[in-house]
Structure 1
Amino acid sequence: MTHANLMNNYFDPNSVYTEEDFRCSFRMRRHVFKRLLCDVQQVNPYFQQKRDRAGRPSFSPHQKVTVALQMIAYGSAADSMDETHGVSESTCLDTLQEFCDTIVQLYKDEYLREPNQKDMNRLLRKAEDLGFPGMIGSLDCMHWDWKNCPTGWQ
């Protein structure tokens, strides 16, 4: 039933929620989600729907990817997924681990790599345009004068 609700709300052709609603909920466009779903299913059999020991369909790939993304995007606790998606805490944790491992396997060469010189030059230009020349890495603002800095932080 939770799979049917998820499909009806977000993925069916005449879904309840619009593309904008989808983007707000999933923090990505629907076509990006579909590509991600297809990619993880091809690489990891965990994301292919199977039957449980009673012969009923197990959690759908849509449910598994949705649960993993919601835990990552919103910092949702695994035990809170049972109410909204009908997925137990242990299954959520397994799903999150499988999802993260699969994403690293799939995209590490393209997206999860060390920046090259071209990337560094682009980042430096972007930071300079924003008023932070020479900045690479996180900005902790320790070298900036902050007129209204709270007393406890001084």
Structure 2
Amino acid sequence: MTHANLMNNYFNPNSVYTKENFRHRFWMMHHVFERLLRDVQQKVTVAIRMMPYSSPVDSMDETQGMSESTCLDTLEQFCDIIIQVYKDEYLREPNQEDLNRLLRKDEDRGFSGMMGSLDYMHWDWKNCPTGWQ
């Protein structure tokens, strides 16, 4: 909601505030903020693309125009920020309610007693490549 208000107040054609108001309140020119916003969005896009697809860093150079070192630095900074923002909600030890919910889910899927087994490797994978068994 805060982001929507900011965009509505300063960046829409019929904005509530002028560019001069923006400069006075944020101590930077309107176009500088827009450039920072675009650059940050690009870096977040690079980090998010690299994680799920294990995209090689050099492919980001071709598609996003960022060097390998910048991509790696961006990914590291992104991960650090995500940890700081979400650690209290998601990166905590499970409480009893969480454990009960997870155990029920595992049981419903046919994996009772799986809590504590980090990799679930003790159940049979009939189609698993032999090298992984």
Q: By the TM > 0.5 criterion, same fold?
A: yes
> What is the root-mean-square deviation in Å for CA atoms of aligned residues?
2.8
Matched-pair identity in % = 64
Q: CA deviation at 1:62?
A: 1.1
Partner of 2:110: 131
Alignment correspondent of 2:20: none
Give the Cα–Cα distance (whole angstroms) in 1 for the partners of residues 82 and 103 of structure 2.
Answer: 28
Matches within 5 A, 1:1-154: 60-136=39-115, 137=117, 138-140=119-121, 142-144=122-124
Structure with the bigger RCO (C-alpha within 8 Å, sep 6+) is: 1
Instruction: Point out where structure 2 has 5 or more consecutive residues left out of the alignment.
Output: 1-30
Distance 1:77 1:132, change over 3 A: same
Q: Give the Cα separation in 1 of the matches to 2:63 and 2:126.
A: 45
Instruction: Name which one, 1 or 2, has greater alpha-carbon Rg.
Output: 2
- Give the length in aligned residue pairs: 99
For 1:106 and 1:78, the matched residues in 2 are separated by 25
User: What is the deviation of 1:122?
Assistant: 0.4
Question: How far apart, in 1, do the equivalents of 2:58 and 2:86 lie?
Answer: 28
Runs of 4+ in 1 over 2 A off after TM superposition: 146-154
- Flag the 1:87–1:50 CA change in 2: closer, same or farther, 3 A: farther
TM-score, normalised to structure 2, is: 0.63
TM-score, normalised on structure 1? 0.55
Q: CA 1:148 to 1:70, structure 2 compared with 1: closer, same or farther past 3 Å? A: closer
Whichever structure has more helix as a proportion of its residues is 2
